[in-house]
Amino acid sequence: MGKETSKANDKKLRNIKFRNRLGNLIPKIMIAPTFTVSLVCVYGFILWTIWISFTSSKILPKYDFVGFEQYNILFTQEPRWWVASLNLFIFSGLFIAICIALGLTLAIFIDQRLRGEGVFRTIYLYPMALSFIVTGTAWRWIMNPSLGLERLVQQLGFSDFTFRLLVESNVAIYAVVIAAVWQSTGFMFALFIAGLRGIDNSIIKAAQIDGASLKKIYLRIIIPSLRPVFLSAVIILLHLSIKCFDLVMALTSGGPGYSTDMPATFMYAFAFNRGRLAFGAASAVIMFITVMAIIIPYLYTELKGTRNAR
Amino acid sequence: MPGKMNVMVGEKSPGMIAGRIIVYTLSILAAVYFLIPFFVMVMTSVKTLEDIKSGNLISWPREFTLDAWIKAWDSACTGINCEGVKGYFFNSILMVVPSVAISTIIGAVNGYVFSKWRFKGSEVLFTFLLLGCFIPFQIILLPMSGMLGWLKISQTIFGLALVHIIYGLSFTSLFFRNYYVAIPDEIIKAAKIDGAGFFRIFWKCILPVSAPIFMVVIIWQTTQIWNDFLFGVAFSGSESQPVTVALNNIVNTTTGVKEYNVDMAAALIAGLPTLLVYIISGKYFLRGLTAGAVKG
Amino acid sequence: MKRIITSLICLLMFASFAFATGQGDGTSAAKGGEVEVLHWWTSGGEAAAVAVLKQLLEAEGYTWKDFAVAGGGGDNAMTVLKSRALAGNPPAAAQVKGPQIQLWGDEGVLTNLNDVAKAEDWDNLLPKVVADVMKYKGNYVAVPVNVHRINWMWCNPAVFKKAGATIPKTWEEFEAAAKKIKAAGLIPVAWGGQPWQEATVFEIIVAGVGGTDFYKKALVDADVNTLKSATMVKVFKTLRMVLQYIDPGAPNRDWNLATSMVINGEAGMQFMGDWAKGEFTAAKKAPDKDYIAATAPQTSKQFIFNIDSFIMFNVADKDKNAQKAMARLIVQPKFQEVFNINKGSIPVRLGMSEEPFDIPARLAMKDFVATSKSGDLVPSMAHEMAVMPDIKGAMVDTVTNFCNSDMSAEDAAAQLASAVAAVK
């Protein structure tokens, strides 16, 4: 009898071991397709782009080798590239800062149990639903001096009023910021209000009992505890600003001149419209390296920070 | 819901009332800023062309007409075919439904693995996947079309949907992972001791509490994919163009008279489905985010 | 939750079913074969004009598969074309023009149309300048559709009358007229501040101020020394002078909005190709009465041309006949007449009756023949007829940068030369 049971136990044990091993494999198997696809379609294509950037490809890919020629032209002979880079810098900085500030402010406001919360929420959120093409077209109208806001206010009797953001090449990038903020603030608002409502109330109550002022509660307790939300917000906004393509196309087409060109539109124009595929690829590679140089350290510190906090 | 009791400005004291007035004023001002473009678009779409040319942005239409809407839907030219956007609308639906469904399901499983079945190197893999979000999509246009051609699915809705699935995965996985991280590990451990396997735990313990995050991801993906133009234009064929491409064809006339009212109506029609999704389910979107989608 | 999953699965099945049926439809072709045509003519008049070609093809038993992608003067369409070429299934015909035809020829994907050309006698029907653009290494690979004249100046006589100005024939006269119009409180020049429009005015000035030889050296040969010459400085100075007479709403204005400023009497004149005529016609304005189509200052003896054309790709045997029929029909008089009247351009083939065309078109047809003999028929740089797109891009960048900044004419000429040298 004892023998029998030990044999059965053995079998059971082996079974469990097998199942454990299988169990350990399943997660990996489940991830495998995503991993493979990402390896090929993200990283493989990045490598392909790097390769192309060292060739002399014109309208279609050509697999020769010309060394760093395209990069050389990009950095030494293309004033437009510097305009585009500077624009991305200005744009992403302002866009991320304003969206977060405005989104957080609105979230705090709405969190005060305003009447009509649902209405406010819908109004703040709806721009997210619209495509950048639609947004761009609408804002282009509003900011056009002879059709939009300027004419409207002048008709109201303020004949000196000017609103020339969209048409002056040195400030037109701010017009892009306004439209982009309009589109994306709602999402930030949603993230922050979600974050605010997720905060443990007992801490706040304790602080209130201690007699801390409202301002202090927000600055010292609530906002710091929203740190993970800031992380998500920055990642999403940075991702949007790097890909900012449709909006620029619809709002300014890169103009006046090429003053609102962005790396994404720059790359597209050169690689696809001007038959300088290799050159466009070189600009994309630089863009990607820059983004990685910013995002990896940020992700590293932030993720590490949250893990330690836990 | 933990956050029902919010920090709020107390009533009664005059300073507090003043604060409340300021809060309301600023909230309403923000609402106006958010509403103006929409208002302009709607107004323009119900005006006649003469009315648009003579009036200003926000002037009330002298003559209310839905002609532009009918034309945009039914008879605006998007090439030789002057049948409006209705056919493209259907293409978009065919493209959005499977790509949202598949990318969401795969994202859920990925998120589950990355949060509850971590293995050596899974964090690295996750970061690896996350960085994929940051590639500018312009660079993948050409290699991707080569690949779709190789797979013999170029210019089909299926091919287009596949592209959307592939590049949607990093975001869906991110959302699900962040949500599932908040679910206590003890539940999973208990289930494992009970002998439940990978799928059983997913089905019995994870899915039943996943409704909020599914809402968030589905809304997010639907908006992203529905509104996409770049992939839509590059990977579609003459019979599979999505509505954004048709909208572009209507709005971007090279020569000839611009009908702004039709442009705006077409833009609104193209935006209507996602707009409705937000207006109807915006509440769930927020609820889903609140339930933990944004926790690092 | 389970309900969500179940419904997702249902949707999936529905969608895959839809794919299957959808793809089934896509592959069925008519007996005579089909042509898939990629183009960016999507607006009313143009679309109607192309529809004529479709009807002609269908009358012969072929199928037309329309593939329209608008935006940016064909920029999006070019992206699509590249994507499809890489995927290995290009359309039968695509709207590609000028030197770019050579680039596609280099890729070895184009089909030879010599037999159609021979049967239809294209060599004698088409002016040599036109025929040369359509050939790759001596073989026809593309079909010309129409000829646009760029160097037009569209004037509103009422505005000129009100200001007491006369329609200028030189740039000095232009300045005098513009001053008077401005003094009368109107906008002298209706300007669309988009790079291609700015480049259009630029090339008009190059032709007028520099003359035909200078134009060819600068904008066709892209000769670096010519680009930084004193004449080019003069060109930029003239451009700066013109820019003083535009309104602040100009940046990123569409060309047709600028045209409607002339139509409504807000502005005196606009420099634009002959497609602007369509706007006047649509507004029910008559030439020589409500508007005057004059050649741009100092270019009355010149003809800056822009030719739209289709390149033809190698296709499956069953669709070859359809493709050749399309090539043949495009050049035949019937399509040439209907299409060009609709689009405001003139026929590519010589010897067609002027009867059905309007006054500006008749003038253009006469000048087209005359300039093709005298050598003053020059390709447009702004419309990608003169140089490869990369060089054109470099030129346009400099021009638009000049128009939207305070750059001096000297700096602009130097920058133009260095930008072109970098690409060459």
**B117 and B247 fall within a common domain:** yes
Task: Concatenate the DSSP letters of all residues of C179-223 into one string.
Answer: HHHHHTTSEEE---BSHHHHHHHHHHHIIIIIHHHHHIIIIIS--
**A3 and A88 fall within a common domain:** no
Position A97 in a domain: yes
Q: Which of A164, A260, A274, A279 has the highest number of chain C CBs within 10 A, making it the mutation to test binding with C? A: A274
pLDDT at residue C233 is higher than 90: yes
Taking an 8 Å cut-off on Cβ atoms, the answer to whether B109 and A30 are in contact is: yes
Smallest Cα distance from B47 to chain C, Å: 18
Q: Distance (Å, rounded) from C-alpha B69 to C-alpha B84? A: 10
Of B78, B238, B257, the CB nearest to C42: B78
* Residue range A3-21, pLDDT digits in tens: 566 666 777 667 767 767 7
CATH of the domain at B223: 1.10.3720.10
Residues of chain C positioned with their CB less than 8 A from the CB of B250? 42, 70
Across chain C, mean pLDDT equals 88
Cβ proximity of B176 and B213 under 8 Å:
yes
- Calculate the CA A212 to chain-centre distance: 36
The mean pLDDT of C298-320, rounded to a whole number, is 93
**A133 and A214 fall within a common domain:** yes
**A88 and A222 fall within a common domain:** yes
pLDDT at residue A2 is higher than 70: no
Decide if the complex's ipTM is over 0.85.
no
Position A292 in a domain: no
Q: What's the structural domain count of chain B? A: 2
**A102 and A33 fall within a common domain:** no
Q: Distance (Å, rounded) from C-alpha C262 to C-alpha B198? A: 72
Position B257 in a domain: yes
**B106 and B12 fall within a common domain:** no
**A168 and A33 fall within a common domain:** no
pLDDT at residue C297 is higher than 90: yes
Position A296 in a domain: no
Position B71 in a domain: no
Q: Specify the amino acid at residue B239.
A: E
Query: First CA to last CA across chain C, in angstroms?
Result: 62
- Maximum distance among all alpha carbons in chain A? 105
Q: What is the pLDDT of residue A209?
A: 83
Q: What's the structural domain count of chain A? A: 2
- The helix (run of H) or strand (run of E) holding residue A242 is helix A227-242
Q: Which of the four pLDDT bands, split at 50, 70 and 90, describes residue B253? A: low
**B94 and B54 fall within a common domain:** no
Of B81, B255, B256, the CB nearest to C66: B81
Q: Using CB atoms and an 8 Å cut-off, which of residues 252-291 of chain B contact chain C?
A: 252-258
pLDDT at residue C31 is higher than 50: yes
- Nearest chain C residue (CA) to B258: C256
User: Does C68 contact chain B (CB < 8 Å)?
Assistant: yes
The mean pLDDT of A123-149, rounded to a whole number, is 82
- The more confident residue out of C283 and B29 is B29
**B172 and B249 fall within a common domain:** yes
Least confident of A31-40, A67-76, A293-302, C221-230: A293-302
**B43 and B98 fall within a common domain:** no
pLDDT at residue B256 is higher than 70: no
Q: What is the pLDDT of residue C283?
A: 81
Position B60 in a domain: yes
Position A177 in a domain: yes
**B53 and B162 fall within a common domain:** no
Q: What is the pLDDT of residue A61?
A: 86
Position B51 in a domain: yes
Q: What is the pLDDT of residue C20?
A: 44
Q: Which of C16, C37, C40, C43 has the highest number of chain B CBs within 10 A, making it the mutation to test binding with B? A: C43
pLDDT at residue B59 is higher than 80: no
**A185 and A267 fall within a common domain:** yes
Across chain B, mean pLDDT equals 83
Domains of chain C and any CATH numbers = 31-147+306-363 (3.40.190.10), 152-305+377-423 (3.40.190.10)
**B10 and B97 fall within a common domain:** no
Q: Domain span at residue A174? A: 84-276
Residues C412/C418/C420/C424 CA torsion (nearest 10 deg): 170
Of B97, B214, B256, the CB nearest to C15: B97
- Calculate the CA A102 to chain-centre distance: 16
- The more confident residue out of A147 and C386 is C386
Smallest Cα distance from B107 to chain C, Å: 13
**B155 and B25 fall within a common domain:** no
* Residue range B174-190, pLDDT digits in tens: 889 888 888 888 888 88
Position B80 in a domain: no
Q: Long-range contacts for B280-287 (Cβ within 8 Å, ≥24 apart)? A: B281/B215, B281/B219, B282/A121, B282/A122, B282/A125, B282/A126, B283/A118, B283/A121, B284/B212, B284/B215, B284/B216, B284/B219, B285/A125, B285/A190, B285/B215, B285/B216, B285/B219, B286/A121, B286/A190, B286/A193, B286/A194, B287/B212, B287/B215
E strands, C257-409, in order: 267-271, 292-295, 303-312, 377-379
User: Does C6 contact chain B (CB < 8 Å)?
Assistant: no
Position B72 in a domain: no
Position A70 in a domain: no
**B179 and B58 fall within a common domain:** no
Q: What is the pLDDT of residue C43?
A: 67
Smallest Cα distance from B283 to chain A, Å: 8
Position A147 in a domain: yes
**A22 and A158 fall within a common domain:** no
Q: Which of the four pLDDT bands, split at 50, 70 and 90, describes residue C267? A: very high
**B219 and B186 fall within a common domain:** yes
Q: Domain span at residue B6? A: 2-65
**A154 and A271 fall within a common domain:** yes
User: Does A213 contact chain B (CB < 8 Å)?
Assistant: no
Least confident of A276-280, B280-284, C273-277, C408-412: B280-284
Cβ proximity of C393 and C319 under 8 Å:
no
Q: Distance (Å, rounded) from C-alpha B229 to C-alpha B141? A: 12
User: Does C104 contact chain A (CB < 8 Å)?
Assistant: yes
Q: Which of the four pLDDT bands, split at 50, 70 and 90, describes residue B295? A: very low
Q: Which of the four pLDDT bands, split at 50, 70 and 90, describes residue B93? A: very high
**A19 and A90 fall within a common domain:** no
Position B137 in a domain: yes
Residues of chain C positioned with their CB less than 8 A from the CB of A73? 422
Q: Distance (Å, rounded) from C-alpha C242 to C-alpha A167? A: 18
Q: What is the pLDDT of residue B5?
A: 43
Q: What is the pLDDT of residue B9?
A: 47
* Residue range C120-168, pLDDT digits in tens: 999 999 988 889 999 999 999 999 999 999 999 999 999 999 999 999 9
* Residue range B198-240, pLDDT digits in tens: 888 888 888 988 888 898 899 989 998 999 888 998 888 888 8
Q: Distance (Å, rounded) from C-alpha C60 to C-alpha C62? A: 6
What percent of chain B has pLDDT above 90?
A: 18
**B105 and B165 fall within a common domain:** yes
- The more confident residue out of A283 and C16 is A283
